[in-house]
Amino acid sequence: MDNLKVDLSTCLGKINLKNPVLVASGTFGFGEEYHSLIDLNKLGGIITKTVTFKPLPGNPPPRLAETSAGLLNSIGLENPGVDRFISEKLPFLQKIESFIVVSIGGESEEEYCMVAKKLSQAQGIDALEINVSCPNVKQGGYILGKSAKNVFGIVNKLKNVTSLPLIVKLTPEVSDIVEIAEAALQAGAEAISLINTLPGMAIDVNTWRPKLGGITGGLSGPAIKPVAVKTVWEVYQKLKCPIVGMGGIMNFEDALEFVLAGASAIAVGTANLIDPQISIDIIEKLERYLVKQKIKKFSFLIGKVKTA
């Protein structure tokens, strides 16, 4: 039975992935930064840093602060802007065999649409992740992501300017995450990404100053995993929709928790900064797990948590 041929492929609506392991936005640059450390072609997909219409310088340093079981970041969506992304970053990504998802952001619905329109005219992009929940900026998309009405509106407008599949990235820092996820799906999103980082703060007790130049930042890593797993389970129970689960995935067991809770795919974030090979390790261990359990298709595991 050790020779059992297993199928790691998975679907996010109309999106077909060769395996369910992606790398999360903001932790993997634009792919090229990792190409000497990992075989990018083995990944299920790469989600790029968030791209905006104009270049953004990001927040002042320090931008990272380690916390108990987590990492605070206040990058502030630093990026070269959509035009330079297309001319300077996309050519490398076009050579990769893995699924390419470009994360996009903006200070208004119009900016999201302008970015999406430009990316739709480029080659080599398979989907867009709509970042409406970044805690490191004080305006724009982060505010949009807290309202079901606003999320519906922005996804609806994006559907009018691009034929690329849309994945909407949400924060659990809302009163009803299911309502917002449902609004995104009703407007035409293929899948939901759960969850973005949680807002947090750290203070240096010697200087009495915040440890981040932006004062507050986004908390990622193991500390947020229980919140993320619960959010995925909650949305899947109500909507049975395609979900990309993320938030504190450090190993294969963490990834499997998200799948059993209802994620059709997972994205590895902070762990990339510790071990660039972790995503490949998860893929290999997932395959061995399926063989050991005599399960032919990965998709069988989705949402199989036993609560009764």
Q: Which sequence positions are flagged as catalytic?
A: 134
- Bridge partners (DSSP) listed for residue 193: 169, 244
23 CB contacts (<8 Å, ≥6 apart)?
34, 43, 45, 46, 47, 267, 268, 269, 272, 279
Q: Is 213 helix (H, G, I), strand (E, B) or coil?
A: coil
CB count within 10 Å of CB 120 equals: 14
Token output for 286: 């997932």
DSSP H stretches of helix in 50-202: 82-84, 90-93, 109-120, 141-144, 148-161, 177-186
Distance CA 236, CA 240 (A): 5
From residue 139, alpha-carbon distances to 12, 143, 155, 214 in Å are: 29, 6, 18, 14
Stretch (H or E) spanning 192? strand 191-194
Pairing mode, strands 127-131 and 166-170: parallel
52, 76 Cβ separation under 8 angstroms: no
Give the CA radius of gyration of the chain: 18
Distance CA 61, CA 74 (A): 8
Q: Is 55 helix (H, G, I), strand (E, B) or coil?
A: coil
